[in-house]
């Protein structure tokens, strides 16, 4: 979470999962945390936290997408460091936006 820009603390993730606003995807060598985001014209399943072995995380994609489809989501999105773009390119991921941040003082 040190790369999140300060948007979440561990306790926020815990309560989000307990309240079912977020979904924990545990695996032997990694995990994901997702949340459903409803926009005016589409609903997406957003991965905002991932950790562990890269191959384990990649292997989880099909199950995550299937669950998202069952929830009425049309896309799977991911927020993360630039390296994810290269790591997931062969699985069909493509960049759509770049997120920048500046502190308001």
User: What is the C-alpha to C-alpha distance for residues 36 and 73, in angstroms, rounded to an integer?
Assistant: 8
pTM (two decimals): 0.83
pLDDT confidence of 100, banded at 50, 70, 90? low
User: What is the C-alpha to C-alpha distance for residues 26 and 50, in angstroms, rounded to an integer?
Assistant: 10
In a domain, 103, yes or no: no
In a domain, 102, yes or no: no
In a domain, 28, yes or no: yes
Kindly write down the DSSP assignment for every residue of 21-66, as one continuous string. Answer: SEEEEEETTEEEEEEEEE-SS-EEEEEEEEEE-HHHHHHTHHHHHH
In terms of residue numbers, what domain contains 25? 10-91
In a domain, 23, yes or no: yes
pLDDT per residue as tens digits for the range 26-72: 999 999 999 999 999 999 999 989 999 999 999 999 999 999 999 99
Count of domains forming the chain: 1
Q: Which two tokens stand for residue 55?
A: 């191959």
Question: Which distant-in-sequence residues (6+ apart) come within 8 Å of 46 by Cβ?
Answer: 34, 35, 36, 37, 76, 77, 78, 79
User: What is the C-alpha to C-alpha distance for residues 11 and 68, in angstroms, rounded to an integer?
Assistant: 24
């Amino acid at each position: 979470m040190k790369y999140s820009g300060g948007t979440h603390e561990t306790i926020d993730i815990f309560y989000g999962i307990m309240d079912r606003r977020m979904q924990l995807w545990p695996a032997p060598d990694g995990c994901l945390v997702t949340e459903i985001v409803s926009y005016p014209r589409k609903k997406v399943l957003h991965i905002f936290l991932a950790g562990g072995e890269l191959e384990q995380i990649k292997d989880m994609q099909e199950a995550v997408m299937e669950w998202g489809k069952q929830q009425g989501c049309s896309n799977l999105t991911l927020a993360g460091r630039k390296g994810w773009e290269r790591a997931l390119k062969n699985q069909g991921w493509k960049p759509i936006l770049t997120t920048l941040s500046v502190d308001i003082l």
